[in-house]
Structure 1
Amino acid sequence: MKIARIETFAIPPRWLLCRVETDDGVVGWGEPVVEGRAATVRTAVHELAELLVGKDPLRIEDHWQVMTKGSFYRGGPVLSSAVAGLDQALWDIAGKVFGAPVHVLLGGPVRDRVRAYSWVGGDEPAEIADAVAAQVEAGFTAVKMNASGRMNRLATVTDLDRVVERAEAAREALGPDRDFAVDFHGRFSTANARKVLPLLAPSNPLFAEEPLLPEYTHLLGDLIAASPVPVATGERLYSRTDVLPALRAGVAVLQPDLSHAGGISEVRRIAALAETFDTPIAPHCPLGPVSLAASLQIAFATPNFLIQEQSIGIHYNTGAEVLDYVVDREVFRFHEGHFRRPAGPGLGIEVDERAVRAADGRAPDWRGPIWRHPDGSFAEW
């Protein structure tokens, strides 16, 4: 059995899928994408395809080593994401060849269901209570929201009050038996994060995500030591080497992304590394069906898993949904805010190839917005 063909599909709302086919007709799917750089990653996938076509698809680890280390210049989000999607597709093929879900190939399930959280926006504080109440009604036991909109370099009293008001509104709507997390999205300076984290403690968030930009990971330890709120990070860290400083800093929750951090192969290793620091993982996944399916395979096989992000019904998906690209939507049906363990081979989903091919090329060239401070200078989004 040899890899015969590798294709990519840019589909709405902002996703990129890859399809790997063997010479005897086994097909695996992956989701290699960097949000806002899909075309760039698409090029990288086809460059890496030169290393795979004609090779045995079951030599997954060897392919991972060659794809990540076979060039003098390595790493970074584009290459790591291209590798991630191809790695997912190879694991999908392996599962189909052996007639087993990927989590079985990884050692078998360690849980029967996976807790998930749903997004409730947060950019508009007045809408939080209603949005949270809707997710509670839908059966979710946890939600996540943005902590703020654009932040001043040094927060005003009003800036801080708005962050706290969001948290208080979420806690009131959830009650004491459910959880919410706040995503700082790298919008906060170190000084602002230091000021606001203690103010959030009375609302008891599950975690505060990315209070600092990843390039300031060297400052994370001091922030964590002063924070009464658990700190999470990891969506913009792409390897074991990248996450190690965050783990050493004492991060409470690690959030690797299956479509950015080298795929199933590397995230499995990242999770094992995190376990040695007594740190759970909560895979980042605001993306499409294949990324979510890969995340769930990791979640069911990983002892130190905490909770799963997912984008079904997320507020910023326009033009298409996760469920639009799978044949059997039951795989992604929620049961009291949890996913049940998928039983199908490989990634456990059947991609609707007709829908994917029809959508290819219809994805807009999505870009993250450019924000500016009142003085006209650049502001983090």
Structure 2
Amino acid sequence: MKITALRTYPVPPRWLFLRIDTDEGVTGWGEPIVEGRLRTVAAAVAECAEYLVGKDPLRIEDHWQVLTKGTFYRGGPVLSSAVAGIDQALWDIAGKVHGVPVHVLLGGPVRERARVYSWIGGDEPNHLAEAAQARVDEGMTAVKMNASAQLRLLDTPAQVRAIVERVETVRETVGPDVDVAIDFHGRLSLAMSRRVLPLLEPYLPMFVEEPILPELSHRLREVAASTSVPIATGERLYSRWDFRPVLESGVSVIQPDLSHAGGISEVRRIAAMAEVYDVAVAPHCPLGPIALAASLQVGFATPNYLIQEQSIGLHYGEGHDLLDYLVDRSVLTHKNGFIDRFDGPGLGIEIDERVVERVSRYADEWRTPIWRRDDGSLAEW
């Protein structure tokens, strides 16, 4: 069997799909994307295709090694994301060739279902309680919220109180039996994180995500030591080498992204490394159905898996929901806060190629919003 072609498809709302074809008619799908840099990643995939076409698709590890280490300049979000999508597609092909789901190839399942959570907003406090209640009414047992919009490096007591009040509102709405995770998107400075996080302790968050920027990972030990709230990070880390110092800092949860951190092959290794530090894995995935399916395949086979992010019904996907790209939507439909293990070959999903072909003709390039503080300086989004 030989790889014959790699083709990328930009699709709404802000994703990139990849199809890898073979001379025996077996096709694999992946999702290589850096949100806001779609065309850049597509170009990187095309460069990788120069090496892959004509090669055996089942030599997944060898291809991963060549694509990540076969050039003098390595790593970074663009190359790692291109490799991630390719890796997903190659595992999809391997599973289809052997007639088994990817989690069987990874050693077999360790759970029957994967717990998931939904995002409820929070940049602005409007309708936060209603959004949280709606997710609970859908059967969700965990939600994630942003707790602020743009912040100063050292913000006012009023802004600190506003963060706490948003969390308090959601906790009071969902009650003690529902988990609440809080995402700061790196918007807190180190000083602000040490001020804010202890004030959130009474509301027992499941975790606080990216309290500080990934560039400041060498200071995470101080953040973790300042609070009993579990610290999570990792969506902007791209390899096990990036994760090693973070694991040593005292974080409780890591969040590698299957479309950014080298795909199934690398995230599986990152998860095994995290187990040594008693750190749980909650894969980052505000993306499409291929990335979610790949994340779940790893989750089904990973002992220290905690919970899975997913974007079904998310606000930015209105009109182009994750499930719209599937022939069988039931595979990724959550029930009572879980997605049942699915056992179809490969990634276990069937992409509706007619929908992909149609929408890729008019998909727009999404760009990261630019936020500014009240003094005009750039703020973290």
* Smaller-chain TM-score bracket: over 0.9
**Equivalent residue number for residue 237 of structure 2:** 237
Report sequence identity in percent: 65
C-alpha distance in 2 between matches for 1:36 and 1:317? 15
Q: Which moved more, 1:58-67 or 1:354-363?
A: 354-363
**Equivalent residue number for residue 198 of structure 1:** 198
Q: Secondary structure at the match of 2:244?
A: helix
Once the two structures are superposed, residues 135-155 of structure 1 have per-residue CA deviations (whole angstroms, 9 ceiling, x without a partner) of: 110000000010111111111
**Equivalent residue number for residue 343 of structure 2:** 343
**Equivalent residue number for residue 155 of structure 2:** 155
5 Å matches for 1:112-261? Answer: 112-261=112-261
5 Å matches for 1:60-71? Answer: 60-71=60-71
C-alpha distance in 2 between matches for 1:117 and 1:67? 33
C-alpha distance in 2 between matches for 1:318 and 1:368? 18
Equivalent AA in structure 2 for residue 155 of structure 1: D
C-alpha distance in 2 between matches for 1:363 and 1:35? 13
Once the two structures are superposed, residues 52-86 of structure 1 have per-residue CA deviations (whole angstroms, 9 ceiling, x without a partner) of: 10000000000000000111000000000000000
**Equivalent residue number for residue 283 of structure 1:** 283
Would the aligned equivalents of 1:197 and 1:227 in 2 still touch at CA under 8 Å?
A: yes
Equivalent AA in structure 2 for residue 114 of structure 1: A
Structure 1: 5+ residue runs without aligned partners? none
Once the two structures are superposed, residues 112-145 of structure 1 have per-residue CA deviations (whole angstroms, 9 ceiling, x without a partner) of: 0000000101122131111111011000000001
**Equivalent residue number for residue 26 of structure 1:** 26
Would the aligned equivalents of 1:119 and 1:315 in 2 still touch at CA under 8 Å?
A: no
Offset at 1:361?
A: 3.4
Q: Secondary structure at the match of 1:324?
A: helix
**Equivalent residue number for residue 333 of structure 1:** 333
Compute the TM-score of the two structures, normalised by the length of structure 2: 0.99
Q: Secondary structure at the match of 2:280?
A: coil
Q: Secondary structure at the match of 1:259?
A: coil
Q: Secondary structure at the match of 1:335?
A: coil
Question: What root-mean-square deviation, in Å, do the aligned CA atoms of Structure 1 and Structure 2 show?
Answer: 0.7
Q: Which moved more, 1:170-179 or 1:305-314?
A: 170-179
C-alpha distance in 2 between matches for 1:361 and 1:372? 33
Q: Secondary structure at the match of 2:127?
A: helix
Number of residue-to-residue matches in the alignment: 381
Offset at 1:319?
A: 3.8
Once the two structures are superposed, residues 142-190 of structure 1 have per-residue CA deviations (whole angstroms, 9 ceiling, x without a partner) of: 0001011111111111111111011101111111111000000011111
Structure 2: 5+ residue runs without aligned partners? none
Equivalent AA in structure 2 for residue 69 of structure 1: K
Compute the TM-score of the two structures, normalised by the length of structure 1: 0.99
List 4+ stretches of structure 1 deviating above 3 A: none
C-alpha distance in 2 between matches for 1:19 and 1:316? 24
**Equivalent residue number for residue 316 of structure 1:** 316
**Equivalent residue number for residue 90 of structure 1:** 90
C-alpha distance in 2 between matches for 1:278 and 1:100? 30
5 Å matches for 1:258-277? Answer: 258-277=258-277
